[in-house]
Amino acid sequence: MKGLYFDGMLILRDDIEKPEAKEGEALIKILMAAVCNTDKEIIKGYKGFKGVLGHEFVGVVEESSDRNLVGKRVVGEINIGCGKCSFCKAGFKNHCEDREVLGMIGKNGSFAEYITLPNQNIHLVPDNVTDLEAVYVEPLAAALEITEKCHVKPSHKVAIVGDGKLAYMIAQIISLTACDLSIIGKHNEKLDTMKNIAKTMLLSKLDYENYFDIVIDSTGNEQGLIIAQKIVKAMGVIILKSTYNIKAKLSPPDWVVKEITIIGTRCGPVDAALRLFERKLISVDSLAIGFYLLEEYEEALNPQNMKKTIFYISKTLDI
């Protein structure tokens, strides 16, 4: 089959072995797949992964031992636990030490014509959720994990550091809490798309210090962490919500003196993300999206391309 394969460099191959569904698994034909910042970090060396990239997808089940899945449009959870360890038995397969992760650890991903996933990882896409919405379910679920880990109150002052695609999804989720929400970024054009969700401010004009109850860093870089540490108030919370392919130089004494809580978050509840799209509480309309064929991967992944990249794989260009 055809797919984007990474082995120190990214190449388009047409000789990748089509996966076969094992017992308890489904064979999924990929319709669309989206590029995540994690994919870009893997290309830079994050995780040392070799194989087909991609983990944000929508597809159709072609084969499965669960006949109720065959022919259905689906998305999927990307962590595949061993099923035997204490984490898996407690329902925390995301932290299984022997887990596979779609397109990241030991498992070919969705920048190809087919993938396999365990039936239990698969979620049906409601009829009124479009393919374009469905391909964003995984990052939306990751944004929802913030509210799983931290109680955001309507009275809280909350800041999101970063103005990218992930920040846009997080902002929509956090705005549903009715908190006093601000988004801090570098790009006027990106911030303009979020003005109906929250207060927006340019980083160059930021004059807050020790102010916010909760600061969510979506940048994945050291500068974002430094800003978060500066603007969070004493006894506040810093939430890390991005892929960090860095070793940052920070100041733990400040965390101690201010008694800061730092929370790491990863993947979140896929079923809840689907419900939000089904109820039309979340929109992707303001995102700058570029649609590409796999053959156009060099243009799609150009660092100068600021659009959210969507690959059409087994779907015609009809959007």
CATH assignment at residue 213: 3.40.50.720
Are 150 and 80 contained in the same domain? Answer: no
Are 88 and 125 contained in the same domain? Answer: yes
Which pair of tokens denotes residue 158?
């909350």
Please indicate whether residue 245 or residue 96 has the higher confidence score (pLDDT): 96
**Is residue 25 situated within a structural domain?**
yes
What is the three-class DSSP state of 80?
strand
Are 38 and 117 contained in the same domain? Answer: yes
Instruction: Give the integer Cα–Cα distance in Å for 240 and 249.
Output: 15
> In the prediction, which pLDDT does 245 show?
65
Are 105 and 30 contained in the same domain? Answer: yes
**Is residue 198 situated within a structural domain?**
yes
**Is residue 298 situated within a structural domain?**
yes
User: DSSP strand E in 149-256: where?
Assistant: 157-161, 180-185, 199-202, 212-217, 232-240
> In the prediction, which pLDDT does 121 show?
96
Q: Which domain holds residue 184?
A: 145-264
Helix (H) or strand (E) holding 257: helix 252-258
Are 157 and 128 contained in the same domain? Answer: no
pLDDT greater than 90 at residue 288: no
Are 151 and 87 contained in the same domain? Answer: no
Segment 202-216 shows an average pLDDT of: 93
Residues 6+ apart with CB under 8 A from 207: none
Segment 92-109 shows an average pLDDT of: 94
Model confidence at 37, in pLDDT bands (50, 70, 90)?
A: confident
What is the three-class DSSP state of 307?
coil
pLDDT greater than 80 at residue 62: yes
User: DSSP strand E in the chain: where?
Assistant: 3-6, 10-13, 25-34, 51-52, 56-64, 73-76, 79-80, 100-102, 106-107, 114-118, 122-124, 157-161, 180-185, 199-202, 212-217, 232-240, 261-264, 289-293, 308-312
> In the prediction, which pLDDT does 314 show?
85
Are 235 and 118 contained in the same domain? Answer: no
> In the prediction, which pLDDT does 173 show?
97
> In the prediction, which pLDDT does 319 show?
46
**289-299 pLDDT tens trace:** 899 999 999 99
Query: How does the average pLDDT of the chain come out, rounded?
Result: 92
User: DSSP strand E in 218-282: where?
Assistant: 232-240, 261-264
Quote the percentage of the chain above a pLDDT of 70: 98
Q: What is the CA 14 to chain-centroid distance, rounded?
A: 27
Are 151 and 202 contained in the same domain? Answer: yes
Are 163 and 213 contained in the same domain? Answer: yes
Are 308 and 230 contained in the same domain? Answer: no
> In the prediction, which pLDDT does 302 show?
85
Are 189 and 306 contained in the same domain? Answer: no
Q: Which of 14-18, 44-48, 69-73, 131-135 has the lowest mean pLDDT?
A: 44-48
Please indicate whether residue 63 or residue 253 has the higher confidence score (pLDDT): 63
**Is residue 317 situated within a structural domain?**
no
**Is residue 256 situated within a structural domain?**
yes
Residues 6+ apart with CB under 8 A from 81: 87, 88, 93, 94, 96, 98, 99
**Is residue 85 situated within a structural domain?**
yes
| CA angle (133 as vertex; 303, 19 as ends), nearest 5 | 75
Q: Name beta bridge partners: 311.
A: 33, 292
**Is residue 213 situated within a structural domain?**
yes
Structural domain count, the chain: 2
pLDDT greater than 90 at residue 243: no
Instruction: Give the integer Cα–Cα distance in Å for 143 and 89.
Output: 25
Are 95 and 189 contained in the same domain? Answer: no
Helix 137-149 × helix 270-278 angle, to 10°: 110
CATH number of the domain where residue 109 is located = 3.90.180.10
> In the prediction, which pLDDT does 317 show?
54
> In the prediction, which pLDDT does 110 show?
97
Instruction: Give the integer Cα–Cα distance in Å for 209 and 126.
Output: 44
**Is residue 271 situated within a structural domain?**
no
pLDDT greater than 90 at residue 114: yes
pTM higher than 0.75, yes or no? yes
Segment 39-54 shows an average pLDDT of: 89
Segment 112-130 shows an average pLDDT of: 97
**Residue 177 contacts residue 171 (beta carbons within 8 Å):** no
What is the three-class DSSP state of 38?
helix
